[in-house]
Chain A
Amino acid sequence: MNADEIRQAAQRSDFRSKAGPLLAMMGMAMVVTTLVIRVVIAVTAADYYALDMVTRDSALSGSTILNDLSVISTWPLWTLPFGFLGLATLMVGIALIFSTIPGRIQQRASAMALTLPRVIESRQGTK
């Protein structure tokens, strides 16, 4: 590799260094969405548990009370895994960015391999 090729390679961003931050942002958005959904369910839960036990247990099919119970019981089942998926997406983003570092270190090594002999030669020339 000559100096121009090394310089161009250093300035180029590959797919992974673009996808990594994008995945991290997606993951963060998923986690925040989970929190928002859980806050909405929490309001329903507070309403439901404000009723006495007899009223809750004697609720008829199709009633608002049973509908609330359904929301409180079912939504948490998928929202927490969704939050985990968000964290996993963030971690995949981290892994992608990490995977670009060895290539960058190799580019720097190529630059040193190209330049160090010239530095040494010029030093010897001045002595």
Chain B
Amino acid sequence: MATQTAVQLGGIEVSSEKAQSMTGMQSMASKMWAPWLIMGFMIVMVSLIIGAIVANTASDYFSFSKEVREAAVANSDIADKKAFIEATKAWLPTFKFLGLGMIMGGITFALATILGNLKTGGGRVQEAIGKGTMELKPPMTAKMFPMVMMMGMMVLMASFVIGIILAVISADYWNHSIAAELNTASAGSGLLSDLGTIKAIGLWLAPLKFVGIAMILSSIVLALATIVRVLRFQTVRIVDLVND
């Protein structure tokens, strides 16, 4: 939609243009918010079920004595259980955060839908009064919030992929005899290298997920700031419509 002119209306920059239709992003958001909320909630529910399965496996694993657990050889039932527990610990939190991120992304889309409705509703009112249609020139916050939200989602997806890679390394490491192989691994061995990788990635993967969530929350802040700005503009515009 081409901007015709930009003028100052009560200190707020506006453009005079037809404002009866949503932008492409807003109409996409109006279709996407519900699927994102549902998918996000389903991911969190699936995480709960997987958590219950792991808890059951852990209960079986810890029913064996410490000697038996540590002596279990690679690919044995006990070692497999330990590998499954540790691998799931690596990827499941990233999956849960992806679900939470999608729910928050759905909220951001819902806010974009509100903005779209404010735009079209404001345009319709102005048209009905018949004194020309003006709309707020999109502020920086309006341009930034979809990008910040998508960046946050990309960080969460990257965390999930790293979580899966870490799970593979973790499963490989723990599918060894603890007493005979893991505890006796020498410096520079592949096993100790894997252990170092598991511990190191685990340390920074948790706050990386936080960064993803924080970015999506920041997009909500930007969307809300845009809504406040639009409401301010509409108030000034309503007053000016009659005073013109």
Contacts and interface: CB of A to CB of B under 8 A. Distances in A.
A111 interface: yes
Interface string B180-224: 000111111100110111011101101110110111011011001
Interface string A89-121: 011011001101100110110111011001100
Interface string B218-244: 101100110110011011101111110
A59 interface: no
A49 B199 contact: yes
21 contacts: A6-B235, A7-B10, A7-B235, A7-B239, A32-B211, A34-B207, A34-B210, A35-B207, A38-B206, A42-B201, A45-B199, A46-B199, A87-B214, A87-B217, A90-B218, A94-B220, A101-B224, A104-B228, A107-B231, A107-B232, A118-B242
Interface of A: 3, 6-7, 9-11, 17, 20-21, 24, 27-28, 31-32, 34-35, 37-39, 41-43, 45-53, 55, 72, 76, 79-80, 83-84, 86-87, 90-91, 93-94, 97-98, 100-101, 104-105, 107-108, 110-112, 114-115, 118-119
A20 B236 contact: no
Contacts of B42: none
Contact of B217 (A10, A37, A91): A91
Given A21-B225, A80-B207, A49 B235 contact: no
CB-CB nearest 5 A-B residue pairs: A104-B231, A42-B200, A10-B235, A35-B207, A111-B238
A108 B243 contact: no
A81 to B, nearest CB: 11
A79 B203 CA distance: 10
A80 B210 CA distance: 9
Nearest to B9: A7
A32 B234 CA distance: 37
A35 B208 contact: yes
Nearest to B11: A11
Nearest to B206: A80
Contacts of A42: 199-201, 203-204
Given A7-B10, A27-B214, A52-B192, A76 B232 contact: no
